[in-house]
Structure 1
Amino acid sequence: MHSLQSQCSSDLELQESLCQRILYHSNRPELFSSSSGIRITKVTPGRAEGELTISETSLNPHGYVHGGCLTTLADTVAGTAVSSWGRPCVTVNCSMDFFSPAKGKKIFCSAVPQKVGKTICVYQCALTNDHGEHIGNGNFTFFLLDGGIPDAPKQKSGA
């Protein structure tokens, strides 16, 4: 892929630090995704995983998870994966394919790169339910912005 990959993977310690910073910033409680029941569970170079805890506010009038909620989950996970290259990003385009109605307690999402360029990244997401059934896919295009990922706050030592 591109030199962005070598930037993230050249030093394991820096790579782990970047992924931890992204994990911290992606799960801040004041974010729209967090208030929607979405949590990023794993960030590795170029990839991310997350989950949606289904609640009454996640549902459409028929009792299934709203497609917009599933799209938000996929967009959040894919954007987090893109950020693991060390730059913030914004969504340019997305499309979703739903294979079956989403229901249960949780929906899981994983994002993998299809193309990583200098300014554009294309990612695919897979959505599964809590029975492991593949319920949908998302395809996302992101624009990479200038700048980096901010540091996470320092942990206070002692109690």
Structure 2
Amino acid sequence: MEHDAYLETVRSYFADDLFAMKTSGIRIVDAEPGSSVVAVTVDERHHNAKGGVMGGLYLTMADFASAIADWDENEINMTVSSSMQFTDMPRGNELIATCSAKRRGRTMGFYDIDICDSEGRLVAHGSYSLMHRPLPAN
């Protein structure tokens, strides 16, 4: 499948991911098998009590980006393990998460996610492990 068609198929499939897309406002910027880019414009709903970006936004971005990178229309995937390191306070109001596969095997996928701010500075790094299984037969 050509890149633009694949990207639109992924966007259509993940449109039902209401927490990431609707509640959090995350957008799918790019996708291909084994990699993805998602972004969000940070606003007041993303702030913690001290006015900083809530750590849960970074985790949601990383989880969503890894699910997209691991996606296969014939499988279901789920996060098995995740870790996040926060490296700096973001500048500006845009966060961009770039996910790439370290390895996608028959049943497990391993992904690295870098989250950068509007200036391109690394503000968080995540490592995710996902399990994927064939969809059950109907």
TM-score, length-scaled by structure 2: 0.87
Matching residue of 1:126? 114
Please, which of 134, 147, 151 is the counterpart of residue 135 of structure 2? 147
Matching residue of 1:90? 78
Rg (Cα) greater in structure: 1
Please, which of 32, 41, 48 is the counterpart of residue 19 of structure 2? 32
Gap change, CA 1:76 and 1:50, over 3 Å in 2: same
SS in 1 for 2:67: helix
Q: CA RMSD in A?
A: 2.1
Please, which of 58, 70, 82 is the counterpart of residue 46 of structure 2? 58
Q: State the distance in 2 between where 1:49 and 1:84 align.
A: 16
Conserved 8 A contact 2:74-2:134:
no
Gaps of 5+ in 1: 1-11, 149-159
Q: How many residues align?
A: 135
Q: Please identify runs of 4+ aligned residues in structure 1 that moved more than 2 A.
A: 15-20, 84-88
Describe the superposition over 1:97-139 as per-residue Cα deviations: whole angstroms up to 9, x where unpaired: 0101234211000100112111110100000000111111000
TM-score, length-scaled by structure 1: 0.77
Please, which of 48, 73, 78 is the counterpart of residue 66 of structure 2? 78
Amino acid at match of 1:31: L
Q: State the distance in 2 between where 1:86 and 1:41 align.
A: 23
Matching residue of 2:10? 22
Amino acid at match of 1:76: F
Please, which of 99, 103, 113 is the counterpart of residue 111 of structure 1? 99
Conserved 8 A contact 1:64-1:103:
no
Matching residue of 1:154? none
Gaps of 5+ in 2: none
In proportion to residue count, which structure has more strand? 2
